[in-house]
A and B are shown apart, each in its own frame.
Chain A
Amino acid sequence: MGNKNFADKLFFSVTKVAAFISFALIVLLFIMLIKESGLSFSKFGLRFFITKVWDPVVEQYGALSFIYGSVISSLLALLISVPISLGIALFLSEFASKKLKEFLSIIMSLLAGIPSVIYGLWGIFVLAPILRNYIEPFLQKIFGFLIFFQGEPYGLDMLAAGIILSIMITPTISSISKDVFESVPRNLREAGLALGATKWEMIKIAVLKTAKQGVIGAIILGLGRAIGETMAVTMVIGNVHEISLSLFHPSATLASVIANEFAEATTDLYVSALFKIGLTLFFVTVILNIFAKFLIYSTTKKYKV
């Protein structure tokens, strides 16, 4: 008895210490990022975020083109991934048999566990040629009057980044949305059906409406993943510091520019500018994650009986 109690207490203290250490690490990381980007802050201030010249030769640094690249590639990823993920999640929670559900859940977690460099390789050797030779010319033929589909198809460009990211965030968004849908209690589903709703109407009034907030959380979590994803994006986005509305134009993101340029950053200001980008990335992803977790938690826990 006493022994068990002691073991419990020990376990509890170890967990507490571990939790404290990880929190402390996050704080330290944050402080380090702030400190390291100090030089860039004193030189460029907040202007850094709204200027797009990034030129080590003249020591001018502005992050706008990377912010643009991150935002557009992530939104593109959401645009592709959200309908697919919600479809998968609904299918799993409302229609699939138990066996199929288990099987697909395993596939999902496998997909989520593939190292991102593998996605990158696939992007370079499989996706990019297909985009360049088939998909992009096809899009151009049909939608070429829109600025988004103009210019020479590269294959290694914003579109490739968006597609790779959409594949990478689909397991996250769909598995969390599935959990959120499944947390909608049976008595609400039955309330819908008892009103004479068809299965789809029931899903609309009882499941989707109730789960909305949690699904938004899942999407934001996916957005956080997309913004922070580095390796695969760096490999397929083309790494050009320019802002172009065309999806066929190479670009760069906050994450990809750090990965690409840290090795060659020789001056203190250059390094500091890269740290400042890291700080931005850190800040944005932490906020998105906290917000997303809050939405998901408050939806799924609310209905636990």
Chain B
Amino acid sequence: MLETKLEIKNLSAWYSEHQVLKNVSIPIYKNKVAAIIGPSGCGKSTLIRCINRLHEIVPNAKVEGQVLLDGKNIYDIDVDPMEVRKKVGMVFQQPNPFPTMTIFDNVAVGLKLNGVKDKKLIQSTVINALKEAGLYEEVKDKLHHYGTHLSGGQQQRLCIARTLALRPEVILFDEPCSALDPISTAKIEDLILELKKNHTIIIVTHNLQQAARVSEYTAFLYLGELIEFGLTESIFTAPKMKKTEEYIMGRFG
């Protein structure tokens, strides 16, 4: 029943000489939400940036190990990182719409990168992506306004729409709500639950309640090592490791 969409295998990562991920292995299941939790600086962002090959854009950064996407290692030499990033979309901590592009163009930009020229196709894809991101009703009359004039929560949903327009199979969220108010946060969480019907989702979060609300699986990372991975429910109610329990109880981090 459970299908593995993505498998992180013996993954290690460095910034120059500084090793921040140590031999991490996590299975990510199709159409499920996996949460990655852990104290600040433990390597959560680094981990998900290894999944869309964004880690390597940092000068002197290094990766070892494998990330299997549908069984194919994305670090094989015959794999084009650009293609990986189209299949594995990413939403960042700070909403980052392109400031000199309109709402419409922000969503259309990925299609244009893919060489889509058909105006009608672009139009319908943009509108669909905005609908899926739950933003269309709010912006349908101002598609040609700048994206940066929206509220923070709307900007974040715009970034989600921008990612969705490329029809990614996996979506990575790096603390997508940490800059947002509770109402916007609730909207994004609802959205994630909706999106998992058609996507596989990994979310990094500092907010344990959020992890409990949206994810089926949780990985607890500590100092670059995977301490525990399992069903969210068991991680939160019956953690096997002492460190996990301490973190969940809020004793550190």
Contacts and interface: CB of A to CB of B under 8 A. Distances in A.
Interface in B75-94: 82-83, 85-86, 89-90, 92, 94
Q: How large is the interface on A (under 10, 10 to 19, 20 to 34, 35 or more residues)?
A: 20 to 34
A165 B188 CA distance: 55
A195 B163 CA distance: 7
Given A196-B166, A212-B100, A191 B85 contact: no
B200 interface: no
Contacts of B100: 209-210, 212-213
Interface stretch (A15-23, A69-77, A136-144, A197-205): A197-205
B57 A190 contact: yes
Contacts of B109: 195, 205
Nearest to B106: A191
A254 interface: no
B98 A205 contact: yes
Nearest to B85: A196
A198 B85 CA distance: 10
Contact of B101 (A197, A209, A302): A209
A57 interface: no
B239 interface: no
Interface string B109-144: 110011000000000000000000000000000000
A146 interface: no
B98 A195 contact: no
A198 B101 CA distance: 19
Interface string A140-173: 0000000000000000000000000000000000
B54 A190 contact: yes
A32 interface: no
A188 interface: yes
A233 to B, nearest CB: 36
15 contacts: A188-B96, A190-B57, A191-B92, A193-B54, A193-B57, A194-B90, A196-B86, A196-B110, A196-B113, A197-B82, A198-B82, A201-B113, A205-B109, A210-B99, A213-B100
A-B pairs, top 3 by smallest CB distance, nearest first, are: A196-B86, A194-B90, A196-B85
